[in-house]
Structures are given as structure tokens and as C-alpha cells.
Amino acid sequence: MADIHANLEAFTAVLGDIERQGGFDELLCLGDIVGYGPDPHACLELLRRQKCLCVAGNHDWAAISKLDTSEFNPDAAAAARWTANQLTAEDRQYLESLPLVAEKGEFTLVHGSPREPIREYVQSPDIACDNLAFLKTPYCLVGHTHAPLIFTDEGGSCTVRGFTPETKLPLGKKRLIINCGGVGQPRDGDSRASYGIYDSQGKSVRLYRVAYDIAATQAKMLREGLPISLATRLSYGV
């Protein structure tokens, strides 16, 4: 899971969907738990109740002043300031404790990229290729772009393809950088929450999309005075 972005309705819908798929052994969270959305504390609390390995995202760092919001657009910066005021001491401590990079079996976990875990967007085959040198594992899970994509190491160059629920992704010899999309603010034109399940026995990853109560999230955002554009974009998945 990546980019929950304080969207409790999306996060809850995803957890419910996972249960319907048979549950999970461990939740791998790729950062940006908070920022943009109206429920930072509730999402952090729910995440802490899971067996979870989590890395930090840029919005997590912004919420605890580890990252200067002058790098953010005005709406994101306003949301980051609002978020900072919603966090308990325990929330801040948890965000503070998150590493930038984690490894789990054959996977490396980062928010942005292995080279620049907080800032870089892996959004082209060239960027993916440049990042392979920074990986010690065959596979890497990234978030940050909120767009489900698969980058494959073809030896000297990389290819990119979209990742949909129809995609079969067996993990073989080729190195992969995998983005399972965003839970709380999808940006690939599909408003449904996006996440992936790794089947360790079948050695494959599948993508899942889940409808959630977008209107409920939007109503909370407007009630809290969060920027309207951040609420509107959820309807369109952009």
C-alpha cells in the first residue's frame, strides 16, 4: 500500500477488500500515510494496529517539519500545516521513527525511489534504469506518483507498462520496480483506491481496485477547511 494520505474511507475499504481476498501476513506501507486528507490521526492509529513494515514519505516528513513545505504547491503546503496540528505526540513519534528504505525478503521498499527515497518520482523507464544500481534486491516497491506501473529491467534498458487488476505479474529473473498505485488519492484517472497483494507461494503480485465513499471523505475535507481542489480531484482520480 502506498499513499494512504489520511483518507480513512479509502484505507478502511482497502483493508476490507484484503480480508475478502483472504487477508495478509504483513502490510507493507510505502509512505505518505498523511497529507491531503482529513483523517491523519485515525489513519495512523489504524495503521499502527496492523502488522506493518512502513517507510516514510515526503508528506510524512512535512507533517513533522522534517521537510520544508516550500517545496510543496500552495494547496499541499496548506494541507501539511493543517495536518501538523492534528497529530498527537504518539503520531509524531511514529512518523519520526519511519526509515527511508526497508528491505523485506526480495523486496526493497521506498516511497519515491531507491536513489532519492523522499523526492524522486519513478515515472519513466530512464529514471527506473538509473535507480537499479541502488537496489540490493531483485524487486522494488515504490509509491509517490500514485500511478500503478511496472518497470522491467531488460538489461541495459527498462520498459514500462501499466498495472491493472487484469495484469499477471509473476516474479521471475528480471528485476522489477513495481508501483501498486495510491490508496487515498489515485492519480491514474481511476478514482478507486489502488493496492497490491504479493502471493509469496505463487511468487506473483496482483493489483486490486476498490470503490470507497469518496463523498464522505470530501465532506470531511470541506468541513475542516482543506483546499477544495484537493477534495475535487478525488472524484476524478487525478
The answer to whether residue 188 forms part of the interface with Zn ion (CB under 5 A) is no
Q: Which three cell numbers mark 113?
A: 525511489
Amino acid letter, residue 138: P
CB of 166 to Zn ion, least distance (A): 25
From 3, 39, 60, 120, residue interacting with Zn ion (rule: CB under 5 A):
3
Which of the stretches 3-11, 42-50, 214-222, 227-235 binds Zn ion when contact is defined by CB under 5 A? 3-11
Nearer residue to Zn ion within complex by CB, 35 or 114: 35
Dihedral angle of Cα 98, 100, 101, 104, to the nearest 10 degrees: 20
CB of 130 to Zn ion, least distance (A): 21
Name which of residues 11 to 50 contact Zn ion (CB under 5 A): 32
Here's the x/- map for Zn ion, 93-122, by CB under 5 A: it reads as ------------------------------
CB of 32 to Zn ion, least distance (A): 4
Q: How many CB atoms lie within 10 A of CB 154?
A: 12
Distance CA 63, CA 67 (A): 8
Nearer residue to Zn ion within complex by CB, 3 or 120: 3
Phi, psi at residue 194, to the nearest 5°? -125, 135
CB of 196 to Zn ion, least distance (A): 16
Distance CA 112, CA 110 (A): 6
Nearest to 79 by CA among 10, 32, 138: 32
Q: Which three cell numbers mark 59?
A: 508528506
Residues binding Zn ion: what is the number (CB under 5 A)? 2
Residues that bind Zn ion in the complex, under the rule CB under 5 A: 3, 32
